Amino acid sequence: MQFASITKRVAKLGSEKWMPHLKAKKMAEIDPDVILLTIGQPDISVSDELANITIKAIKEGRTGYSNGRGEQNLVSSLVNKYNDECGLNITEKNVLCFPGTQTSLFASIMGLVNEGDEVLLGDPLYATYEGVVAAAGGTIKRIELKKENSFRMNPSDLANSVTSKSKVLLLNNPHNPSGALLTKKEIEEIVKVCLQNDLWIISDEVYASLIYDFDNKTEFYSPLNVRDASHRTIVVSSISKSHAAPGFRSGWLVGPKNFCDAVLPLSETMLFGNQPFIADMTAYALENDFRTAKKMRDSYYHRAVNIYEVLKKTNKVEPIMPQSGMFLLADISKTGLSSDAFVKQLLEEEKLALMPGASFGENAHHLVRISLTVPDKMINLSCERLKRFINRII
């Protein structure tokens, strides 16, 4: 039986990349001693206030059809957010609402990439990017993100990677899986390379609210802040990380009017906007001050420091301290094990689940990703298991 070619292009690029997590999750269902440090699932719940806003909206009948662009209150909130943060003069014509960052990213790639077009991507990379590019028929041109540069994209490496087929730079800042944060200068230089080569920029900024900024000096800088680049820049994001609400599936894209106009019919054939009751909650979340992100930032930072110090003392596994986000990378080269073997053996012997670097690109096979999204007590227990395992295998 023949299926559409897209099914072949995305084969093994979906849930198969998350098999270590799925296997461990199945184990944890029958063995409560299994600890999952695999995915970015916040360990705090969405705030009662936002949950109540959603419930109230449902009870008030906000359960009907929406529209392709998104509910007016949410669109207006996003216009205000990005005008305030980026000093732009955007309107509702620059916004499209989707169920989550993943859908926003899919629509953006499908709206720009033709079969054979190259999408430039830093590697290591977020696990779903390969599938999104493959779905559109594009090819990935990998730019190695080097450990010695803290996994930040080097503008010179980007410039040297551009070919006649290059169409889009898919930028992830702050970066998953490393937690790296690009500086203002780096963003400006990256944007310059893209404009010189007539590239589009898609900037995934879902972790922008989770930067470890304790001296108020760390600056998040978006390509949208570069005024000359606004006609070639699309930002995708959501409330999944900022408000501990991944299951609400509420995201968006912000981009040039002509791009949004062109992609709007695609959005309308996909889903016709996100749910009105979730849009109401999202608009409220964006318009009011919540301490959710700060609480998560503080927790993740201290957990990262804890794991970093434990692994550093082993002198056998090298941790890389993140600047943001929910994860910590560790270099396991000295163990002699592949990331897949390391993760498999650790789960079997210590009931501790990590994600192998192999799930995050060709340049990550010597790495493992450790999630910071479990309570401190479990982080401490995980550190004990990690240290015991590392000392035993070397």
Q: 319 forms bridges with which residues in the sheet?
A: 330
User: Can you give the three-state secondary structure of the chain, one letter per residue?
Assistant: CCCCHHHHHCCCCCHHHHHHHHHHHHHHHHCCCCEECCCCCCCCCCCHHHHHHHHHHHHCCCCCCCCCCCCHHHHHHHHHHHHHHHCCCCCHHHEEEECCHHHHHHHHHHHHCCCCCEEEEEECCCCCHHHHHHHCCCEEEEEECCHHHCCCCCHHHHHHHCCCCEEEEEEECCCCCCCCCCCHHHHHHHHHHHHHCCCEEEEECCCCCCECCCCCCCCCCCHHHCHHHHHHEEEEEECCCCCCCHHHCCEEEECCHHHHHHHHHHHHHHCCCCCHHHHHHHHHHHHCCCCHHHHHHHHHHHHHHHHHHHHHHHCCCEEECCCECCEEEEECHHHCCCHHHHHHHHHHHHCEECEEHHHHCCCCCCEEEEECCCCHHHHHHHHHHHHHHHHHHC
What per-residue confidence (pLDDT) applies to 368?
98
Residue pair 138/118 in contact (Cβ under 8 Å)? The answer is yes
State the pTM of this model: 0.95
Residues of the chain with CATH 3.90.1150.10: 5-46+292-393
pLDDT of residue 273: 74
pLDDT for 289: 79
Q: What six digits make up the tokens of 374?
A: 């479990």
- Choose which CATH entry (3.40.50.720, 3.90.1150.10, 1.25.40.10, 3.50.50.60) describes domain 5-46+292-393: 3.90.1150.10
Q: Give the span between the Cα atoms of 359 and 20, in whole angstroms.
A: 9
Task: Give pLDDT, residue 270.
Answer: 87
- Structurally, at CATH architecture level, domain 48-287 sits in 3-Layer(aba) Sandwich (3.40)
Give me the pLDDT at residue 17, please: 83
Per-residue pLDDT, 180: 97
| Region of 55 on the Ramachandran plot (φ > 0 left; ψ -120 to 50 alpha; else beta) | alpha
Task: Output the pLDDT for position 214.
Answer: 65
Measured N-to-C along each axis, helices 292-314 and 376-393 cross at an angle, to the nearest 10 degrees, of 20
Say what the pLDDT of residue 86 is: 86
Q: Determine how β-strand 200-204 pairs with β-strand 233-238.
A: parallel
Q: Within 13 Å of residue 81, how many CA atoms lie on the same side as its CB?
A: 24
pLDDT for 15: 84
Walk along the chain (394 residues) in steps of 10 and give the mean pLDDT of each run.
89 86 92 94 92 97 93 96 90 95 96 97 96 96 96 97 98 97 97 98 97 78 94 97 93 97 94 90 92 93 97 95 97 95 96 96 96 96 97 85
Residues of the chain with CATH 3.40.640.10: 48-287
